[in-house]
Structure 1
């Protein structure tokens, strides 16, 4: 790009000074200067050192907390979104790789060394789910994609009244950390953000919570199909019908209904 710009600039300047002959000389000098500038900016065959730096973020968008938001109460199993209740500043990880290009033969490329720096980001955060205590969190989704529990570092606090503060929160807050007793929440430690556009994704949780009292009252469940005319008849039933037009004359069809025991 610099080559084209300096070629035009040299041609105009040379024409103003020396006419057509000056324009030719100016164009040549501009091309030489532009090629040298392009070489220093974009590498190429000039050798030396080349530095490439990836995009770097100053702040990360993501989950937000709403003041005064209600705490959901779950009975059975439900899928819920979460409320951000605690987070640290995002962690930046810098990776630098060095690539060396060997020199070619006569008139070939010179040796070149390229330093490439990339940035990746991680988040530490706690997300409140619902009122506790819950039985467990069955699944977690981030931007609609299910999260593999084995690939991330997370801790699930079930929301007991005597639960202790999370160790990460206690370490970051120098011991003055709330335990969020009575609230079920999830803590994600160094959650990688590269797969989500370097932002905190929207989380949702599948929560299982037994209904207090009702589960203890259930002793058994009996399932009886109800898709037959005589399905609840306790005795054997024989039903005979006259022959249809496509059957031999005088034929009789009989159907036998199975006997089922009544529930006790």
Structure 2
């Protein structure tokens, strides 16, 4: 019929067949499914303006494969990655649709997950995982870092005996995904991700309790909660001690660039058995990306505020130095042609303000941001863009804003509103909309406390404030020296999602 002749039916699409030969279908009506695509005429839309996207789910053993993978079960075969079309893999189909519906996209972040098993930095192992320990697939089998399916970490299962996560994408699928995207002219950023497989009912000591004496850690927590044990702010904490540094070192492990064997497009581990640290994961993928032909950008870590704010002394942050050491090793593998960065959480990038009554303010990540080997300041941006409530008897409606959907209202909260002009000092204040202005007294640098004031943070020299007293010497950060990249930017597609874009309603 053509776009111009399509009737404006709402809610129902009709498919009409004339003289359909049923012999092909056993002389009965076939079961058919359809997906209807409607291009948006207005180019001023998210689809028309988006230039970069994040490719998830990060897990799924063959999710990213561009060749069909089939599970063999007796004499039958079942496709693993042909869920959209029978003759096109999910990855290829996803990229086809992405480029058709968001034609301005130039760059894709490929997210790949391993699994952490403990919030205590000194006890956490970070390993590739599988959904089941025995499965035969063709024409390729699952393998990550030289680890076979039978030897891999087995992800937890729910009360219906289903895996709670998909497995780590097999190495060959990551290579295929990188090569496929680059063949399409897309820039590729590699994004290593940690999913925390801490199931309900666990008996692990909770670092966020006095003396870590509480039994049971929260189920499927955010990786950003990995920290020292006991954590800062709790009785018996090891924060600001040498023990904290040793716990950080245990999490990173001892892998070096030479701990791997590279053969063609395969990378395997030759280091110490049992070393499941962050360094092993990140260096493995640095080698794998290089073997795939290279990537445009690579992240050495993502959203680890509970780790980067650990102190081994009053102003010493061992994880920050550990990331700098890792950065140098990744650079030695990927070379100067790859942009390398760290993707900080939006609550992490600008500094450490412990709120413990000390008055301390440290730009703790500045040694990393200023490192000559890092190319950009990465921020996973989920900052609030609204504070809308039911009805119209609330603060923002009283200011004259007509609705949460008003574009000018949302734009005004990009460099304004919560996190810029004011903050909530407590949950009770949030409920009552009792807003406290963000000020800085004599120093007159309120941007130090405004996580939304990216421009001022980027444009100014930074001065630590031990005990609340501003140092006379700036940190290593040179104003405007590195570009800021939003390595993630998003909001849940739900009512008032812009109030708290960082809230994920799936506990995992």
Q: TM-score, normalized by length of structure 2?
A: 0.12
Mark the structure with the bigger radius of gyration: 1
Greater fraction helix? 2
Q: Which has the higher contact order (CA 8 A, sep 6+)?
A: 1
Q: TM-score, normalized by length of structure 1?
A: 0.21
